[in-house]
Amino acid sequence: MPLREIALTLPNRPGTLVGIARALAKDRINLAAIGVDSSPARGRVRLVVSDPDRAVVVLRDAGYAPEVRELLVVRLEDKSGSFLRVLEALAKARLNIQSVAILVQREGNQPLVALSTSDLEKARKLLQSAGFASQLAEQLVSNSDVIATAPTIPAESVGFLL
């Protein structure tokens, strides 16, 4: 199953993230990554969690409106400018990047980056033909993989594992 992220648009006020964290922790859903960006009125939160399907249900039940996006995983050469080539290929094809996450996992000695675009299948075909995307890279990483120790996490630490 492909790597997926959950995105939420929320009011920008103190304590908003507490509600998200509390809902996920209560249902023992582990958070592997979080990205937050805000304007004075609104915030955008991106989450990579151990069980996105269950997290969507939990967040909806808590009154949030989560969006789920599939992420395309690409491999890069471990040198400057390699991600630039991915960005240039996507821009030339007029594909908009919606999010980017640098992953800890590697394919051999090549770093992996997860991204979402305005047209994931078009981006996948383009980047596969350019030698950046590979089925192996996408098979190496799933939401359950991003929580390497999920089965043995003590109950008191469930919720925010970064």
Q: Is there a single domain that holds both residue 9 and residue 48?
A: yes
pLDDT tens string 54-101 = 999 999 999 999 999 998 888 888 888 989 999 999 999 999 998 887
Decide if 8 is inside a domain.
yes
The pLDDT score that the predictor gives to residue 53 is 94
Please state the pTM of the whole predicted model. Answer: 0.68
Question: Which of 69, 94, 109 is the endpoint of a domain?
Answer: 69
pLDDT tens string 113-135 = 888 899 999 999 999 899 887 66
Q: Is there a single domain that holds both residue 75 and residue 41?
A: no
Decide if 159 is inside a domain.
no
SS3 letters across the chain: CCCEEEEEEEECCCCHHHHHHHHHHHCCCCEEEEEEEECCCEEEEEEEECCHHHHHHHHHHCCCCCEEEECEEEECCCCCCHHHHHHHHHHHCCCCEEEEEEEEEEECCEEEEEEEECCHHHHHHHHHHCCCECHHHHHHCCCCCCCCCHHHCCHHHCCCCC
pLDDT tens string 105-114 = 677 788 778 8
Decide if 104 is inside a domain.
yes
